[in-house]
Amino acid sequence: MSRPRLIELIFGIATAAAQVIVVVILFVRYFSIEHWFDEILGSVLFLLPALIVFVGSYVHVVNGKGYGRVMLGFGALFMGALGLVGFLFGGFVYAYGLALAIAILVPDATALVSFVASLFVDIDR
């Protein structure tokens, strides 16, 4: 397996794993019985773009399908945009503190690295 493919796959897996860890931390820390449905729905919607990145990178690397790159790009750009807006205008640092705000942005960064690596896969063939 070539280096760009390996980087794309590793960072795609890291995106999903890091997002699951962040969701667990947020879910355990801020869970309330009164709003359990909203908490679970928010967790699923928070995980969905990371899972799209993971599936897209896997399909693109392992199966060699072009729509995997499209899925990966859609998920990575969506995560990157939401992370940037949340960090600059949403007050992640104010709401969660610096350490948790950085932890929330780690999956966004790994998704963008995976997408950039996917752009070099066809050049490597």
Question: What's the pLDDT at 123?
Answer: 55
pLDDT score at 14: 95
C-alpha distances in Å from residue 73, one per residue of 51, 54, 60, 118:
12, 11, 11, 9
Q: What is the pLDDT of residues 2-54, one digit of tens each?
A: 888 999 999 999 999 999 999 898 888 777 778 788 888 888 888 999 999 99
User: What are the pLDDT digits (tens) for 41-92?
Assistant: 888 888 999 999 999 999 999 888 888 899 999 999 999 898 888 888 878 7
CB-based contacts of 106, cutoff 8 Å, min separation 6: 18, 22
Q: What does the domain layout of the chain look like in residue ranges? A: 3-124
**The two structure tokens encoding residue 48:** 């969905």
pTM: 0.86
